[in-house]
Amino acid sequence: MLTALKQLKSFRIVQLILAAYQKRIVRLLIPLIILALVIWLGSRELHNMNIGRMLFELRRLTPWSILEIALFSLLAAGVMSSYDLVVRKHFRMPISIGAAFRYGWIANTFNNACGFAGFTGAGLRAFLYKKSGVPLNVITAAVIFLSPVVITGLSLLAWTVLARLFPADQLLHAYPWLRWAMWGMALYLPVFLLVQRSRLFGKWFNQGKGTMPWTTIFASLASSLLEWLFAALAFGLVGTRVLDGVPLEALIGVYVIAATAGLISMAPGGIGAFDVTALLGLQLLGVHPDLALTVLLLFRFFYFIVPWLIALVMTAVEIIPKRERIGELAGSGWSYSLNKWQQIWAWPGQFRFLADLGVWALSKLVLASGLLLLLSAALPGLLYRLRFAEKLLTLPIMQLSHDISVIIGIMLIVLSHGISLRIRRALRLTLGLLFAGAIFTFIKGFDFEEAFFLLFVALMLYLSRSRFYREGAPVSRTNLLIWGGLTVLVTVAYLLIGAGGYSYFLHRLPLRMSTNLLFDRQHFGIKGLLSLLSAWVFLTMYLMMRPKRGVEELPDAAEMDRLREFIAHEQGNLLTHMLFLGDKQFYWAQEGNVLIPYARSRNKLVVLGDPLGPMDQASAAIQEFQGYADRYALAVVFYQASPAYLPLYHENGYRFFKLGEEALVPLESFTLAGKINTPLRTVRNRFGREGYSFQMAYPPFDDSLLTRLRAVSDVWLEGRKEKGYSLGWFNETYLQLAPLALVLDPQQQVIAFASLAPAYDNKQTISIDLMRHLPDAPNGTMDFLFTHVMEWARDEGYVTFNLGMAPLSSVGQSERALREEKLARLVFQYGGHWYGFQGLRRYKEKFSPAWEPRYLAYPASVSLPILTAELMYLVSRKMD
């Protein structure tokens, strides 16, 4: 009955998990289905789009038009802060009007850029308000209050579209399902006004204080209307500046319908559904697809991206402590006027926030710089600049500058990854390329806008140079494939955009204008080959950013001598003898007082066991080693960590996974007497009667013995490769360091042997190491060997004999264990087909050991399944 209840409970848990995943899948599929539907319906209108022509038209806008669009878009973004002014007054928040405006700007622009159903804006508001001392219950009430209000403005605009104040009849007639969406959006407003007078609204949205005052309701409705109306006007302003003859009212109508489609799709910023719906609406107004896409790109850039970039800077300023922002130099003795200048401009502290913008943002700026160079090279320059360039520069110089700009663009795209990893050499190379890119993009067609942007990015990188401390980063085959494929895709995009842009430009070129600056298709093919070649050249340069060989240098004879001297006066552990295998690197921390042995596996440094040395210096040594690894973008993992060191790992940010338990036999109580040890005693007596014998051999060993042992080892391996790292393998130099236990048959031939590994803890502990036997050795051979070895160790004065670890033993037994450990428990129970987990533990239990757990300590940023696979590879990789 109990078993049936457990099965029923497990089945219920599985059902809940499946239901949760189904809900997540449904939430993911809804926007994808809507986007696919819109694209399918408008595919006929979209197939004639020419990206090259679209980008060329974008460059033809006058600087005044761009400035006008930028300023109004910033105004539209600022209007959204009216929400926060309303909740500040209604909930009596102890913050200034300026702070409410800043918090609203940050929350709303982040929400526009990232979305996630409003959670981004809500989370940022909660963080910023809490930072200003607003109680958590007030923050929660304010966020909940805003959630149903935001859509009301769009609902009101939906009524204006249905009433043909902002007509969009062609779009609604072509796609009738959009009319139903508009009616649904329009009806939201009256439903909201009815619900807000209910008790439910007062309970959940007004902190249980009854219905919301009409003044607050109308103020919030006005805020929502201002947000959506100004966004629509920003869209209309872009349309009127790019398009000819399209009325503003029609553009606003298209925007309202597109915004409704985007809201229904639940995608961040309505991306996808909004854009395709707007494209369809503009084309129905007679706008060419290329120009329609130009309108959308400009609107997205100035209304979404630019305010969000400003919000990044504002967020950095909000996070930095006030004393660091102000940068006053009180009492410095400077003149009053200069001191006031510093107070106003916070010189030089106003640049400090640049270092706190985040390396992530800097890497994206470098990526954008590379894309901008390629885009600029793929499109023709402006006519008046090309005419001017023809008079001042020679054609070969302009073409060479064009070619170099393409190469630099691709290099910057790949280098952005090095910037995100904070590699110092990547920073130096990027700065040089940005300066060179600014020069060559200016020479090729006097594109001073691109040049100023590149110099601005270079300035930001220079001001943040202290953040770049790493000496290298690992470069794997996967990285090479990813970035190699990216360069190919970028080159293809460059060719496609360039072909379209130059073809369109050729038809608009005045007859008197020289065509020498227009590159034919053959030239573009050459450009593609040069781009690919530059990509591969850069990948070779990128390899220079990998870690220095010092991270992977194996210890030489001098290092081994230093190890011997170290363990002569410091306590070792059960794994110390493995260091003489020579396959692990040594890091000497705390001025040589602590030794950390490790091996590299991909982007991780895997430490074998605990740090060796004084325990009171171990935590500082771990931090020192973490800093050393971080300079090469590597993570530190501790393999087979002991329980005594877990508090140290915990305080340094590590999580734990139980690997299994070590079998430690107390030699003082070990005996073959008694009923429980009858099987061991019987085996020993039987081997003695049949003429088998046990023998201990001490180094140095002669060649004849090692040859015989090699033969036994080769037969035992049966062609399998040796394992390593935490396991010993047959290495004659290594075997010469410790005694060997031998089992001889009646003809005095070796049929089994085992090497021993002292723990270097003042003869307290000794371990079994390498174990080999012939396949036809009698049953019980290893029992015979172990009993003799333990008796020998006891006679030699050792206290504990280590039989080795039983992997996954006693893992995941608790009901509240981690799911990874519960999965490991299943592997322990049912994985005997591949590895005898349970059989190995039962075998070692015959010797009545005490079990001591061993753990894997790993950072939270490391994926445990991936780490497990890497550890398996590390232990199983071929040894020399």
The per-residue pLDDT for 198 is 61
Residue 428, both tokens:
């130096």
In angstroms, rounded to a whole number, what is the distance separating the alpha carbons of residues 87 and 660?
Answer: 56
Q: Which of 539, 412, 413 is nearest to 477 (CA)?
A: 539
Given phi > 0 = left and psi -120 to 50 = alpha, else beta, which region is 446?
left
User: Cβ neighbours of residue 521 under 8 Å, at least 6 residues apart?
Assistant: 499
Q: What are the tens digits of pLDDT across the range 153-194?
A: 888 999 998 888 888 888 888 888 788 888 888 898 888 877
- Label residue 543 by pLDDT band (50, 70, 90): low
From the number of C-beta atoms within 10 Å of its C-beta (0-12, 13-18, 19+), residue 489 rates as exposed
- pLDDT score of 403 more than 70: yes
Three-state SS annotation for 262-295: HHHHCCHHHCCHHHHHHHHHHHHCCCCHHHHHHH
Contact 355, 324 (CB under 8 A): no
For 121, 314, 388, 498, 531, the CA distances from 395, given in Å and listed in that order, are: 52, 45, 12, 19, 20
In angstroms, rounded to a whole number, what is the distance separating the alpha carbons of residues 60 and 807?
Answer: 69
Residue 530, both tokens:
């040069």
The per-residue pLDDT for 467 is 81
- Label residue 815 by pLDDT band (50, 70, 90): low
Residue 589, both tokens:
């921390």
Rg (CA), the chain: 36
The per-residue pLDDT for 523 is 58
- pLDDT score of 518 more than 60: no
Q: What are the tens digits of pLDDT across the range 44-102?
A: 444 444 555 555 566 666 778 888 888 998 999 888 888 888 888 877 788 888 888 88
Cα 773 to chain centroid distance, Å, stands at 47
In angstroms, rounded to a whole number, what is the distance separating the alpha carbons of residues 633 and 408?
Answer: 25
- Write phi, then psi, for 392 (nearest 5 degrees): -100, -30
> What is this structure's pTM?
0.63
User: Cβ neighbours of residue 613 under 8 Å, at least 6 residues apart?
Assistant: 566, 570, 589, 590, 593, 594, 595, 621
Q: What are the tens digits of pLDDT across the range 338-397?
A: 343 333 334 344 444 444 446 777 888 888 888 888 777 766 544 444 454 455 555 566
Question: In this structure, how many other beta carbons lie within 10 angstroms of the beta carbon of residue 515?
Answer: 10
Q: Which of 659, 698, 612, 673 is nearest to 820 (CA)?
A: 659
Higher-confidence residue of 714 and 324: namely 714
Question: In this structure, how many other beta carbons lie within 10 angstroms of the beta carbon of residue 144?
Answer: 14
Cα 195 to chain centroid distance, Å, stands at 43
Instruction: Indicate the SS3 state at residue 143.
Output: helix
At position 547, the amino acid (one-letter code) is P
Domains defined for the chain, CATH in brackets: 15-74+150-301 (no CATH), 358-545 (no CATH), 549-654 (3.40.630.30)
Helix (H) or strand (E) holding 466: none
For 383, 444, 529, 806, the CA distances from 515, given in Å and listed in that order, are: 11, 15, 23, 78
- Label residue 434 by pLDDT band (50, 70, 90): very high
Q: What are the tens digits of pLDDT across the range 448-491?
A: 677 888 898 898 888 878 788 887 777 667 777 777 777 777 77
Q: What are the tens digits of pLDDT across the range 667-688?
A: 888 888 878 888 888 888 899 8
